[in-house]
Structure 1
Amino acid sequence: MTKIYVLDTNVLLQDPNAVFSFQNNEIVIPAVVLEEVDSKKRYMDEIGRNARHVSKLIDSFREAGKLHEKILLENGGTLRIELNHRSFHQLQEIFIEKTNDNRILAVAKNIAIEEETKPNGKPVILVSKDALLRVKADALGLQAEDFLSDRVVEVDHLYTGLQELHLDIDKIGLFYEKGELPLEKFANQKFYSNQFLILRDELGSSASGIGIVNHTGTVVKKLVNHYDSIWGIKPRNAQQTMAAELLFRKDIQLVTMIGKAGTGKTLLALAAGLMQTEDLRMYKKLLVARPIVPVGKDIGYLPGEKQEKLRPWMQPIYDNLEYLFNTKKPGELDAILAGMGSIEVEALTYIRGRSIPDQFIIIDEAQNLTKHEAKTILTRVGERSKIVFMGDPEQIDHPYLDEYNNGLTYVLERFKEEPIAGHIKLLKGERSGLAQLAADLL
């Protein structure tokens, strides 16, 4: 049986092509949704871009017929713009205020009542990214669902870049002796390029080893990073050691790292970038960028020139640089960076249109990027450059993103089988005991 899906505005603003995600079912877009989309068209961010895309897409549908009646979509479904059903008769005793959300609820409720009177009435489902709107729909007896088609991965299946392998202790000894171990006996398991394996004794002894899978997924090899100190810091746990391996491998152009606050993502990436730029001269410049998305209420306009405006947003980067350069006096770090000239701290706002060759690029807080923004950044990377995407998918400040549809998750899942990419999830907090406890408990 076909169904009727009533779409909320945030579904279209999250995925402009969402209308093609419902197979051969009927899609209803309330007129108030068009009004909300129209109000967002002038925004200069991703939401504005999506609003303009939706506007052009719906306008193109007019060639297929009158939108308020019903048109056939290329995937077999139908779409119509609902101009009526704005009566609040069914809602007025529960939700008195005539907000846009309540208007959308009214459309869905009245269509559902109409379908109940028909012999072969269709189920009516409200689709929204707004959890409270789904709760209100449930209070009215309406079926409501989240829009999940934009998710890159299902819950709890996010790639970690790490896997344990239990095998005979003699095999572990052979791994240390030869520096590698064939994986043909584990044909029932899938291994990705540059995936880390922790080798453990199947009988439970303390014997273990750490290796990385080769590009064909057939052999696990010992780690090759031999730097005891990286710009004055040392990896403190196994996952940080794995991250250092990825950061220094010349054949890996894209590194993704995820982990809770305090696991050392930013500090380790900056140290590796500084060492390869300043000491080893492998890159001409170190570029560090992060999206400008506030954690709380936006503080509004900031005084000064561009660098002065960006300083509060980029302060977490400068905090790590102060630690690495061991600066103690005010202004000392600025003087060092000005003298070096090879370190650039930038906002992602200005990255479109650039070409970035011969640089070590760090994208911090990448979980606040949309899929389109992540693609825009990666397509800026030039020859002989290396880029590091990192962040915590559980700490997202963007209103239309979650753990499973953000740009960081999108990149790491799409590139996990590519030989030029590597990924690791950092597990243990190293900032302080309090920071680790806060990350776990809060």
Structure 2
Amino acid sequence: MKEYDVFIIGSGMSGMTIANKCASKGLTVGITDELPYGGTCALRGCDPKKVILGATEVREFAKRLKSSGIDTIPKVNWKDIMSFKQSFVKAMPPKIEKGYEKKGIDTFHHTAKFLTENTLRVGNDEIKANKIVIAAGAKPRVLEFEGGHFAKSSTDFLNLEELPKSLLFIGGGYIAFEFAQIAARCGAEVTIVHRGRNPLKNFDQDIVTHLVSATKKLGIKIFLKTEVEAIEKIGNKYRVKGKSEEKTEYFEAETVFNSAGRPPAIFDLDLEKANIAYSKNGVSVNEYLQSTSNQNIYAAGDAADSEGLPLTPVAVLEGHTVASNIIKGNSKEISYPPMPTVVFTLPTMASVGYNESKAKELNRNIQVNYKEALDWFNAKRLKVEEYAFKTVIDEDTQTILGAQLIGPHTEETINLFAMAIHTKMKVNDLKKMIFSYPTMASDIPHML
């Protein structure tokens, strides 16, 4: 049996943070991941997605400025995109493992299963640890209907050697809209089928309406209130059966992708053997991110049922909190600053703080500013067709409660709103700020 002070399940950003911080304080540390080291964001999510998006951003910008200084719209070379993306991805796992080796952290490459409250089976090894951290991240939801196994994952999309001529995405969240737009801009025929009434349900629906409009303008077909019931392989295509309130419909595509959500990857760990309480949202944790039922266990990132959003910077924050509590004893309660989140479509859609519906639940006096800004200079110079904002202000304190944006570079502008909310900056002070002009940030005072 191998023994450690700390053993971590998962090599994503929260697990990496905990491993490095604990090792730096002299604790013996082991870590395992059945997948290459680096986690979803670096290898199968945010980072490779953003690299791929870059090429389509160039094409989109050129398309908008056609006849306004641009004569030729560039074509996207999918193979070159994949090669460029892979240059980032392939370098990450060996770099991470080399860093662990230098710090004396033992690495494993197997699934983990609990045996008792503080022991694990990792491959052929039995591991005992004073503290075990579950930082296993999330994985695609299992599609239980007939033929569900035919649907590929978001990881498969990011590793496509060739882009299919037609694609169908099951689900109406981040992954569906981001990848659907990428594929459509690269020339594919794309369909989104979502069972809910509204896509991207956690965002302000007035702003989502603009994203749906922009997505449809790309030729992407969107079917809402339609439950996928089966996938059938017919020749070199797939036929997808969807049922709405009115009728049963059939869709055909070369490739079908499962973008129906990503639950925490904890349900194969035999948590019951370690007396670990959990829900569909992850391991049940207290304010120290410690298991509510087993004091030897901590959880962080997507594996924890915490108030943190499933975002990489949040996973890092939770990792630092867990490491601190393991090293010093439970002395650091998790505290979340405003958490900006972005849908990396074109245009980007961004949100931070309370949206209008959530703000109304606070029973405060609120002011809501919602407007399309297509007549503003920034929209005109960039020739965009979607630019809108909604800001929510506490009238009594004159501070910002939330902001929802759609338009060019909102992924950057939203960070300024996050800082304003976090520092409780007064609206009038923000209005008096001098921003460099003409920039997207210079529009902020007019959004208040």
More strand by share: 2
TM-score (norm 1): 0.29
TM-score (norm 2): 0.28
- When Rg is computed on C-alpha atoms for both structures, the one with the higher figure is 1
